Structure 1
């Protein structure tokens, strides 16, 4: 898929308003900013002879240059030595700033910490992109810091979690939490390039792999039936194999196809509406109730787990409206269960779900614009879900999920 930026000439058109009073002038400035960025499947990023990471986001004349690397603490513990050896082999002067990035510290304080590292390093404004290596929280933090530092500093993303590879690390948005609100502060500042290397998933725990598969399931349920069928048939195996090629039953072809389809589907939805001028967005499926669920359950639930509960709840609403038959609803829940994803949590009270939808209405400019599955692989938007519907859907979801028993079973199987 090719991302084609809008490109219209920059114009400044003075207009003279003539009245009986002394004339005055107004100027109307109309411009557009061409945005181009890349998402690349890039195996073997840390192979010493592979120049891809060392040259990411810079022109030929700016190579090799200097780099500030902002690295997640867990990633640094696992790959720090290899990362340092790689940049040394490539002849790139570099410094590493380690951030213990997780949802509880996804705040402006951590952004300022990263900005301080950027300032101390003395990065060039255009020729030395910051490189963010970590999960979605880390790349969001670095993206926001880069958007603020000198009003726009380039950066490159190397997502090391599945959710980062297919969702958090490939769009234009950055964000941090504010008070009890998920991603309430943020900007639109895409990285110059996102480099996706599935080899990082080899050290990811099964729970975090399932967490990423929730965002893939999101696109499958409302856009891509083939992707849904792949998850239904192979999802548990992909988790067991850590999405790797070596030692997999099919040489990694299934994992590559699932990741590739998920990225393609996501970018296909994001590209024509990158700045979200249109608030009717398929990618908002699973993100209407989940911000309230995730923040209320923090730190117990991961992002994708909260999204999965939202998707299950939305599927029940769709079923009650006749958009999804019972067999498809039960199949969806079975796939969620097979991926060891929760479909309910004790914080999901009628009051929380209603409050979550009310906050989403504010976020969507006064409308619900709630995406619901219309069969598997398709969706429609509704704007008239009542409190009664929410209460009835929650009661049905609790029954469908087996309530606390299902939660306990999922929690016990998720692992670290």
Structure 2
């Protein structure tokens, strides 16, 4: 393949010019331009919203916008909007929702909503002086961000805690201002970062003007100011429970299933090889709902994976137990999300997703995301300890396999009927098509 040459000022080119450069630089067919254009929206106003979401945009990349009904959460029925390319994820969520709707549904409790950010800096002055005068500094820090926190404070949020941390084990002379925030219904990244950057300016000015440091040189050097996506105190717990006998129609089989399910979850909590895939199954549900609602699934995953490692070993996030004939399956997970601002308030389909969910608060969305994670995990583990994961997965994957061939609607339907009770694989589908061409 032809390699593209270095180009300056690419972002300043029009979309047409960017596409033409790509075609010429990579020796692509000229029809590529029309192909990319066919994915654009006919509504120019909506298309302009998509255009502004990212840099160097050439076209739109479409993913299915789906829905899984029958989620009973804290006594309320909901439908979950989902964006994912994997049909088995949607099917698994819908199946889990229906199963648990008849057994009391999903229960959820928000444990906390605190988010964190840090001002990282080197202090080359006397540590004792900085510690002694920190209360004075703290007062000045809060005073100089008052204009930034005013509106958030009116909504019940703002800065809730500022701690000075000396961490010489990380770097010599290294300190943090570790700051806790309440951002209400906003994810709050811009708010947090703005406050932290102002803290950096205030700290430098304070150290320069404070008489206690006149005999010391270069007291403070700001390294960076940034929010943390690790939010263990912005956490939610969700769970399902029922008598073991209600897990299967046969009482004996129900106990066998429950035992194997609990064992499988226990393995994921103790074995990293299983834990990674186990947690990926949780995020199949969480990510699909997060993307649909315009939330940052990358930040959610990063924070939760760190939480899964908080005891020094990476572990499965869900928990299952049997007690007195009762089965309980739960998930406790950090989730920092927002329902105002950002993509949630801009993307047309994210707005629809929020309407489908009944315009939830940030706390409610936290619970729904966790429920989606637990539901996805339930279906995956259930399949693993019963029929195996491939049977259901490949059945759902059949449509994707058929789409890779040039087939009519009738041919696709015939293939689906043929594989209803047969093993699905790419080679088997290919063999079937060659025999029924």
Provide the TM-score with structure 2 as the length reference. 0.21
Provide the TM-score with structure 1 as the length reference. 0.22
Structure with greater contact order relative to length (CA < 8 Å, sep ≥ 6): 2
Larger-gyration structure (1/2): 2
